[in-house]
Amino acid sequence: MIDEKAAAEAARKQDENYINNALVDVYDNIMRFEEQQIRGSRFRDINARELHIVHAIGLHDHKTTTQVADEFRMSKGTLTAHLNNLERKGYVIRQRNPADRRVINLGLTSKGRLLYRTHDAFHRRLVKSFLHGMDDDDRQLIKQALMNLEQFLDEAQKK
């Protein structure tokens, strides 16, 4: 009886441990895989950072430099440097906003849009594998767990 309880407790601890490590490893593994995929594609000249900037610029949003920099919590100067590279390589275009000529609206070239869609498809495959064999209820549970985590981080960060 007591042994059973202790065994269950030990199993719980072990699961939590696994989840802990997996949570931490997930991102590194995704990043590494993204990088590797890109190396073997026609987008060889892009690194993970640049890929994510292309993704943040998006297909239709016409975001500004400041918006994207804030999203990445990156200084505007740093983003300017990345944008220079991405423009030179033909993924991104800067469009001066005619209504306010201080503002630059960012857009993707057709090459940039292709990269965006390729990356997006990769992520959809990723989530499909993550949710493999799960029904609606299961999916809700996963979603709940991630929402818990976001809430915890948000709240802890606030104070």
Partner DNA sequence: CCCAATAGTTTGATGTTCAAACTAATTGGG
Partner DNA sequence: CCCAATTAGTTTGAACATCAAACTATTGGG
Enumerate residues 6+ apart whose C-beta is below 8 A from 85: 50
Q: In angstroms, rounded to a whole number, what is the distance separating the alpha carbons of residues 110 and 28?
A: 29
Of 25, 59, 78, 117, which lies in the binding site for its own copies, with binding defined by CB under 8 A?
25
Question: Is residue 26 within the footprint of its own copies (CB under 8 A)?
Answer: yes
Backbone angles phi, psi at 103, to 5 degrees: -85, 140
Question: Is residue 158 within the footprint of its own copies (CB under 8 A)?
Answer: no
Among its own copies, DNA, none, residue 88 binds (CB under 5-8 Å by kind): none
CB of 58 to DNA, least distance (A): 15
Measured from the CB atom, the residue of 15 and 45 that comes closer to its own copies is 15
Question: Is residue 90 within the footprint of its own copies (CB under 8 A)?
Answer: no
Q: In angstroms, rounded to a whole number, what is the distance separating the alpha carbons of residues 115 and 43?
A: 7
Q: In angstroms, rounded to a whole number, what is the distance separating the alpha carbons of residues 154 and 159?
A: 9
Question: Is residue 150 within the footprint of its own copies (CB under 8 A)?
Answer: yes
